[in-house]
Amino acid sequence: MQQRLPKFARQTRRLLTLLAAAFYGLSQHRYVGRNPSRAAAAEWLHESCARGLRAMELQLLVTGQPPERGLIVSNHLSYLDILVLSAAVPCVFVSKAEVEQWALIGRYARWAGCVFVRRHDKGDAARANLNVSESLRNGVPIVLFPEGTTTDGERVLRFHSTMLQPAIDAGAAVTPCAIRYELEDGDVGQEVCWWGDMTLLPHMRNLLGKRIIRARIAFGEPMLGQGDRKQLSHDLHERVVRLHGRLKSNEMSTSVAPSRHD
């Protein structure tokens, strides 16, 4: 019973602080305007996610140089990936269409200018690619999770190449990226990573009770989007796997990500 009380206190404190941060972020959107540029929307999401991480008391450590433009290609582990990547660099996300209907999160996704893709509709990729191309032209980094699903973090699944075509057409820079999480009192694969048939709210409630939650992001060297998209997908996969492996073995020196709004 004595061990449960500190966990319950952490859960309650973090949940209330996170909700307050989330609603404050929504209220701040009015200063962005009715039809904000993608850059303005990305900056708004960046500030909101940084507040969210502070509310969760999550430690974010970053290796490498976050890109200022182009495509960011990353492995995908959890709903937390959106918060940590956006807190690290103002960006736009490519997301599955279902997210648009989620309470609160869906509103953030819409207002942040996410590019929604209907995963089982092959014809929808062309429309989504046009939106990705627009973001690339506007100079806003756009994040793609080419595994197409979340995992338990033990390996990086093969990449789908379809959404890489806009970067090739634009000759844009493509930056490989890897994410990894750490807990001091739990199983990352089950309690931070969110995958399979896990239910969102119970998973999040349990996560908020953990003593220390740490996220590590590694940005690799950018490469030019060119050539055949399947070959580009293969090359990017290899680079992300290497970054992931180095994070896993804790070889990379990291530093706490700075916040421009503290």
For residue 225, the one-letter residue type is: G
Q: Which CATH number fits domain 4-248: 3.30.70, 3.40.1130, 2.60.40, 1.10.1740?
A: 3.40.1130
Least confident of 90-104, 212-226, 247-261: 247-261
Q: What is the largest CA-CA distance in the chain?
A: 60
pLDDT of residue 135: 84
Which of the pair, 249 or 22, is modelled with greater confidence? 22
HSE at residue 132, side-chain half, CA atoms within 13 A, is 29
CA 247 → CA 32, 37, 75, distances in Å? 36, 34, 12
Residues in the chain: 262
Q: Does 139 score more than 50 pLDDT?
A: yes
Q: Does 258 score more than 60 pLDDT?
A: no
Q: Which two tokens stand for residue 74?
A: 């990353």
Is the separation of the CB atoms in 191 and 11 below 8 Å? Answer: no
Residues paired with residue 113 on neighbouring β-strands, in sequence order: none
DSSP 92-159: EEEEEGGGGGSTTHHHHHHHTT-EEE-TT-TTHHHHHHHHHHHHHHTT--EEE-TTSS---SSSPPPP
Give me the residue spans of the domains in the chain: 4-248
Q: Does 259 score more than 80 pLDDT?
A: no
Least confident of 50-64, 83-97, 127-141: 127-141
Dist CA 131 CA 134 (whole Å): 5
The model scores a pTM over 0.85? yes
- What is the H or E stretch that residue 58 is in? strand 58-63
pLDDT of residue 124: 78
DSSP 195-240: -TT--HHHHHHHHTT-S-EEEEEEE---EE--S-HHHHHHHHHHHH
pLDDT of residue 21: 97
Dist CA 106 CA 6 (whole Å): 32
Instruction: Band the pLDDT of 198: cuts 50, 70, 90.
Output: very high
Least confident of 44-58, 152-166, 241-255: 241-255
Question: Where is mean pLDDT largest: 4-8, 207-211, 256-260?
Answer: 207-211
Coil, strand or helix at 179: strand
Is the separation of the CB atoms in 142 and 73 below 8 Å? Answer: no
For residue 251, the one-letter residue type is: E
Q: Does 22 score more than 60 pLDDT?
A: yes
Is the separation of the CB atoms in 116 and 96 below 8 Å? Answer: yes
pLDDT of residue 125: 76
**Mean per-residue pLDDT, 174-181:** 98
pLDDT of residue 2: 44
Average pLDDT, the chain: 91
Q: Does 204 score more than 80 pLDDT?
A: yes
**Mean per-residue pLDDT, 218-242:** 97
